[in-house]
Amino acid sequence: MTKSQTSYGDAGFSEFIRMAFSRHLGHDKEDYNKPVIGICNTFSEINRCHSHVKPMVEAIKRGVIMEGGTPLEFPTISVGEMFTSPTTMLYRNLVAMDTEEMITAQPIDGTVMIGGCDKMAPAQLMGAASADKPALLFTGGPMNNGHYKGRTLGACSDCRFFWQEYKAGTVDEEEIGEINERLAPTAGHCMVMGSASTIAACAEAMGMMLPGGAATPATENERMRIAQETGRAIVRLVKAGIKPSDIMTKESFHNAIKTLMAVGGSTNAVIHLIAIARRLGIKLTLADFDEHSRTTPFLANMRPAGKYQMQDLYYAGGISAVLKELAPILHTDQLTGTGKTLGENLADIEIDEVYRDIIRPLDDPLHKEGGIAVLKGNLAPNGAIIKPKAATEELLKHKGKAVVFTSLDDMAERVNDPDLDVTPESVLVLQNAGPVGAPGMPEAGMIPIPDKLLKQGVRDMVRLSDCRMSGTAFGTVLLHVAPEAAVGGPIGLIEDGDWIELDVDSRKLELLVSKEELAERKSRWTPPVFEDYNRGYPLLYRRSVMQADEGCDFDFMLPVPNIKNQEEKKESVSGAKT
């Protein structure tokens, strides 16, 4: 009980009083001389993706005890995407801070973090990286597949698909209600390769989650076994002195990026991986993602870019099977949470040929390139993201006139206006929805197709914004445009009728307006004045959040040398603050 002493000015007294107050759990003093494992329990009845984790926590505890440790639960913030206003991304950094501070401040030797909904796992990995005590991630797992009249349903790709059809008039009120009842049939997070599944896959690839942890459904007995083994593994990591910085190396992050590309994962993972890496002083850039996208084949046939869902991937061998296929291009010498290297973990993995439509061979992929492309040009000097395999192929090279919405409220008010000057060839543009502008960069990038075009049969258009979209979403959607409009980025200078050119193969995103005209518009631009969120944490967020290409972390959460670099950069770049 001498770890992380409370400051009373007398170390002996601190130990004495702590032991007195700890006896209510029934432990003897000797129990606290064993490895003390904190279990970051994010159970919540509001965050439904975490509502089922209590039995898993008990299994983790059993594993800790079996390996000779003492488990102690503690709570942290728990947020879920559908139940948090205005968006969970606003609170990802708060969860990361909470996680880091509780790991650091409390008398524990190691931590198991319970993730689930899609911002929780990256936030916890950010916190664990900064605290750098032995840690492992465990998630509640994906839901089982939903079913409706012989069709497999996946939350929330089919939420979006059927809602769009409802708006188009092809699905009626009764049917949309029946579908709603079947979209999320069991406990767990979204069962497509959305953000939650993607981050779990990346965590397993990096070695911060045990093999099998990413794809095993919430309802499978196997998840309880993995929970128990996670409890045992964290004690072994503590005894061996293996910390997150030993596991999450630059090479491990590159393994995660290749996995992201191979499974057609969420664009959100780009932001999250950059943020986690920078907590460790590892500088990932968008160029790293684009390089690996061009050289990593798309292997896992997963929705929304493919046909199958996480339950199917589990039967096919899960992320371990994907990593086995990728092994020739991975850094397999990297240490993992098992205490073994990635290559040692994969040594006995075999892929049953019956599942080859779900996980394709490395030499016969679904696509030669990975699932995410990075675009640049005068419209996005610091980069933008697109998910080409979830887009309409004919729109990946496109030129159209801009239809501009200046804010989320403006979009909601006008997008379905019958008099809106829009055609199927238009490029829908959403401004001021980025990290600072929104704030929090909500998942509004899948801009609704105007009702009048839906009813004409239009199902996709080129859409452009400085915000995000859910990993479960789809369409020809350009995201994370940086710098964002609210800090003076070129996206904020687009006007109705401007021509925009997209060429994904050439990685080009251009606003076809002369330099002189853009300079003139820039001279007239003034920073927005924010009348909302003008106190407390949201105000701190707006003042300190970095741009999408930098991971949207707070500048003051970086390691000290990086903070100094960020401050120097701020002095040289003009931008709006509250």
pLDDT digits (tens, 9 = 90+) for 155-204: 989 999 999 999 999 999 999 999 999 999 999 999 999 999 999 999 99
Neighbours of 88 (CB within 10 A): 24
Q: Please return the burial class of 193, using the count of CB atoms within 10 Å of its CB with bins 0-12, 13-18 and 19+.
A: buried
Which among 395-409, 523-537, 562-576 has the top mean pLDDT? 395-409
pLDDT at 564 over 70: no
Cα–Cα distance for residue pair 84/44, rounded to 1 Å: 13
Q: In degrees rounded to 5, what are phi and psi of residue 460?
A: -155, 150
Full-model pTM: 0.95
The mean pLDDT value for 207-235 works out to 98
Question: Tokens 């488990």, residue?
Answer: 71
- Which tens digits make up the pLDDT trace of 298-314? 999 999 999 999 999 99
The whole-number average pLDDT for the span 92-104 is: 98
pLDDT at 577 exceeding the cut of 80: no
The tokens of 174 are what? 């009764």
pLDDT of residue 566: 57
Average pLDDT, the chain: 95
Q: For residue 86, is the peptide bond before it cis, meaning its omega torsion is within 30 degrees of 0?
A: yes
Preceding omega of 156 cis (within 30 degrees of 0)? yes
Q: What is the pLDDT of residue 5?
A: 73
Task: Kindly give, in sequence order, each residue whose CB lies less than 8 Å from that of residue 560, ignoring residues fewer than 6 positions away.
Answer: none
Q: 150 burial class (0-12, 13-18, 19+ CB within 10 angstroms)?
A: exposed
Residue 229: predicted pLDDT: 98
Could you tell me the CA-to-CA distances from 539 to 126, 483, 485, 577 in Å, in that order?
Answer: 21, 19, 18, 10
Q: What is the pLDDT of residue 512?
A: 98
Question: What CA–CA distance (Å, rounded) separates 139 from 191?
Answer: 13
Q: Which amino acid is at 190?
A: C
In contact, 422 and 453? CB cutoff 8 Å? yes
Look at residue 18 in the predicted model and tell me its pLDDT.
86
Q: Which residue has the tokens 């968006």?
A: 87
pLDDT bracket for residue 29 (50, 70, 90): confident
Tell me if 247 sits within 8 A of 337, measured CB to CB: yes
- Check residue 559 and report its DSSP letter: -
pLDDT for the residue 288: 97
Instruction: Tell the residue number behind the tokens 């008990």, with chain if given.
Output: 58
DSSP-assigned letters across all residues of 73-120 = EEE-----GGGSSS-THHHHHHHHHHHHHHHHHSS-SEEEEEE-STTH
**Strand ranges (E), 416-569:** 427-430, 462-465, 477-482, 499-503, 508-511
- 181 to 219, 436, 437: CA distances (angstroms): 18, 36, 35
Using CA atoms, how far apart are residues 472 and 346, in angstroms rounded to an integer? 29
**Element holding 48 (H helix, E strand):** none
- Parallel, antiparallel, or unpaired for β 499-503 and 508-511? antiparallel
Return the axis-axis angle of helices 120-131 and 89-105, rounded to nearest 10°: 40
Confidence (pLDDT) at 228: 98
Whose structure tokens read 């932001």?
Answer: 271
Q: What is the pLDDT of residue 193?
A: 96
pLDDT at 461 over 60: yes
Q: Report whether 355 contacts 317 (CB < 8 A).
A: yes
Residue 2 has a pLDDT of 65
What is residue 426's DSSP assignment? Answer: -
pLDDT in tens, 464-506: 999 999 999 999 999 999 999 999 999 999 999 999 999 999 9
Per-residue pLDDT at 578: 37
Tell me if 462 sits within 8 A of 504, measured CB to CB.
Answer: no
Do the strands 151-153 and 135-139 form a parallel or antiparallel pair, or are they unpaired? unpaired
pLDDT at 115 over 80: yes
Question: Distance between terminal CA atoms of the chain?
Answer: 45
Q: Above 80 in pLDDT, residue 394?
A: yes
Residue 296 near residue 369, CB atoms below 8 Å: yes
pLDDT at 14: 86
Query: Vertex 420, ends 415 and 423: CA angle to 5°?
Result: 95
DSSP state of 335: B
Q: Characterize the bridge pairing of strands 36-41 and 427-430.
A: unpaired
Nearest to 293 by CA among 207, 383, 356, 355: 383
pLDDT score of 408 more than 80: yes
Rounded (10°) CA dihedral 453, 458, 459, 462: -80
Mean pLDDT of all residues in 71-75: 97
> How do residues 316-352 score in pLDDT, each as one tens digit?
999 999 999 999 999 999 999 999 999 999 999 999 9
DSSP-derived 3-state class of residue 57: helix
Per-residue pLDDT band at 573 (split at 50, 70, 90): very low
Q: Which of 417, 486, 470 is nearest to 117 (CA)?
A: 470
Angstrom distance (rounded) from CA 364 to CA 172 = 42
Go through the chain and tell me how many residues it has: 578
pLDDT tens per residue across span 240-250:
999 999 999 99
Q: What's the one-letter identity of residue 267?
A: T
Any idea what the Cα angle at residue 286 is, between residues 522 and 282, rounded to 5°? Answer: 120
For residue 298, the SS3 value is strand
Judging by beta carbons within 10 Å of its beta carbon (0-12, 13-18, 19+), is residue 184 exposed, middle or buried?
A: buried
Distance CA 234, CA 273 (A): 22
What the block records as the tokens of 521 is 């518009």
